[in-house]
Amino acid sequence: MILVQSLLRQSNGSKLVGVLLLIFLLSACGGTDKAVRNSGKTRTTKSASTKVTKVKKKVKEVEWKESKDDEKPPITNPPSDFESKPELIKEDVYDITYFIPFDANSYMNKDVASDRFVQYYSGMLVATQILEKEGVNLNINVVDEKKRKFENIIRDEVNRNTDVIVGPYSREALKVAAKFAKSREIPLISPWQASSKITSENPYYVQLRPSLDEHYYSIFEDIKEKYDLDQVQIIGRTTNVKDIKRLKKLQKMAKDVWGESDEDLLSESLLLQDSIDIGVTAFDSIFMDDKPLVVIVPNWSFEDESFIYGSLRRLSVEKGLSEVIVYGMPIMLESEKINFDYYSSLNMRVARSKFVDERDYDVARFKRDFVTKYGALPSDDAYEGYDNLMFIGRNLHAYGKNFQHYLNEDQGYYLQAAYKVEKTRIDNADDAPRSVDYFENKNVDIIEFKDNRFVRNME
């Protein structure tokens, strides 16, 4: 058995929470993988000896009517699969199966590596309360994806009543799930992985995490709106193979934004690590007297943390009175080495798909409800769990079983971000109609440091 207290860190004086008791069931000897089902305003917990009665779903029939000759539209070429959308097929109740890597057995060894997924799940449960008030009826089946072999888990847990699959986290398990979902024609939502290599020609696959390329494009678009190309420098290391390949790729991507050119559009500053660490100068004469210098730091991995930190430190020291604006990746907010002095002196702007504005009313309400319910502060994962389920639940309710084709119509900002889900396309040869490869969230915000805090750049 798992000690409930080990699953979610509590603040002083906090109370134990229902979510932990539910996850507690995951590791029961001989128990089921299932944690909770929520249907309308009823909520039941399922164990190995508990029988859950499924709510019979009613499918609304599509209304047909015969048109008169003068009402018939002219004959035109039918839209391609890429452009068309299927009919709305709505139900009274939707079944969602979540695969989450709680790795419940690890808690027996006091391993808290999966705390983030407990937080994620806790955020989901807060979302269910809001969705119930909005009239969204869901059966939610939560499964520990690490309970046993995933091929067996998904075969046992997903059936003809399943309307949506969410997860799993593991990339290999996600490939299995994507293939399974495609064969069963069930939408699969991937909240955590961003890769074009998970699946292909799969109109049932929805990737909610924006790709690395979308982060770069968001930086380029923001720079294009505000600055001239001659102000821009992109940096890398002269002896680092990954940096050199990345710069070549980014030069090609820049042409997508600024237009084709026979030459590279972005000026490059290639640095030696030694000059950053112990040199007198690293950036020489790149600074401008009459206008701001815009520096792009494209590195995103913690493997490059020392290079990123060192570059920012040298820029801050060497710029003198010149104005410098630095664009970078989420690591600039996540690294403990980078502090507010650099945020301010370098006017930092960070491409980020998840950002919580503490002054937002809905964020404050969520934090209050979360602390009241769980006795602990929400992490970024709790906000993400809430947002993911709110997004899925609302769009299921609005558009029904084929809701993935209508996600581009969602205009709302959630607690962390908006979702801008678009079709990625397959360009067929010989001018054949384009078809859908999969769906991808392309929303990446630019978070700007203003008035001693980061804010979402909404301009």
* Three-class secondary structure of residue 339 per DSSP: coil
Residues present in the chain in total: 459
Last residue of a domain, one of 298, 318, 352: 352
Last residue of a domain, one of 289, 317, 352: 352
Q: How many domains does the chain have?
A: 2
Say if residues 91 and 57 touch (Cβ distance below 8 Å). yes
233 plus 204 within the same structural domain:
no
Domain assignment present for 53: no
Q: What is the bridge-based pairing of β-strands 267-271 and 232-237?
A: parallel
Per-residue model confidence (pLDDT) at position 266: 96
277 plus 315 within the same structural domain:
yes
Local structure of residue 160 (DSSP, 8 states): T
19-23, 136-140, 144-148, 334-338: least confident range? 19-23
Q: How confident is the model at residue 358 (pLDDT cuts 50, 70, 90)?
A: confident
pLDDT single digits (tens) 63-121: 333 334 344 344 334 444 556 777 888 999 999 999 999 875 554 444 444 688 999 99
pLDDT single digits (tens) 427-458: 655 555 567 899 999 999 999 988 888 888 76
Distances from the Cα of 430 to the Cα of 200, 280, 299, 354, 427, angstroms: 20, 58, 39, 40, 9
284 plus 264 within the same structural domain:
yes
231 plus 266 within the same structural domain:
yes
Domain assignment present for 68: no
Give yes or no for residue 15 having a pLDDT over 60. Answer: no
22 plus 133 within the same structural domain:
yes
17 plus 153 within the same structural domain:
yes
Q: How confident is the model at residue 351 (pLDDT cuts 50, 70, 90)?
A: very high
What is the distance between the alpha carbons of residues 105 and 18, in angstroms, rounded to a whole number?
19
- pTM score over 0.95: no
CATH code where residue 137 lies: 3.40.50.2300
Give yes or no for residue 62 having a pLDDT over 60. Answer: no
What range does the domain containing 113 cover? 4-47+82-210+363-441
165 plus 190 within the same structural domain:
yes
Q: How confident is the model at residue 325 (pLDDT cuts 50, 70, 90)?
A: very high
Helix axes 361-374, 380-399, angle to 10 degrees: 110
Q: Kind and range of the H or E element at 181?
A: helix 171-184
Mean of the per-residue pLDDT values for the chain?
Answer: 81
Across the range 379-401, mean pLDDT stands at 95
249 plus 279 within the same structural domain:
yes
Domain assignment present for 92: yes
Domain assignment present for 188: yes
148 plus 280 within the same structural domain:
no
Per-residue model confidence (pLDDT) at position 181: 97
Dihedral class, residue 284 (left if φ above 0, else alpha if ψ from -120 to 50, else beta)? left
Domain assignment present for 122: yes
Side-chain-side CA neighbours of 211 within 13 Å: the count stands at 14
Per-residue model confidence (pLDDT) at position 366: 95
Percent of the chain with pLDDT over 70: 77
Domain assignment present for 66: no
185 plus 39 within the same structural domain:
yes
Per-residue model confidence (pLDDT) at position 82: 54
What is the distance between the alpha carbons of residues 72 and 403, in angstroms, rounded to a whole number?
28
11 plus 43 within the same structural domain:
yes
Last residue of a domain, one of 329, 352, 375: 352
Give yes or no for residue 361 having a pLDDT over 70. Answer: yes
Per-residue model confidence (pLDDT) at position 52: 33
Domain assignment present for 418: yes
Domain assignment present for 448: no
**11-25, 81-95, 262-276: range with highest mean pLDDT:** 262-276
Look-up of token digits 């207290």:
5
Per-residue model confidence (pLDDT) at position 273: 83
CATH code where residue 319 lies: 3.40.50
* Cis peptide preceding 168, ω within 30 of 0: yes
130 plus 155 within the same structural domain:
yes
SS (H, E, C) 222-240: HHHHHCCHHHEEEEEECCC
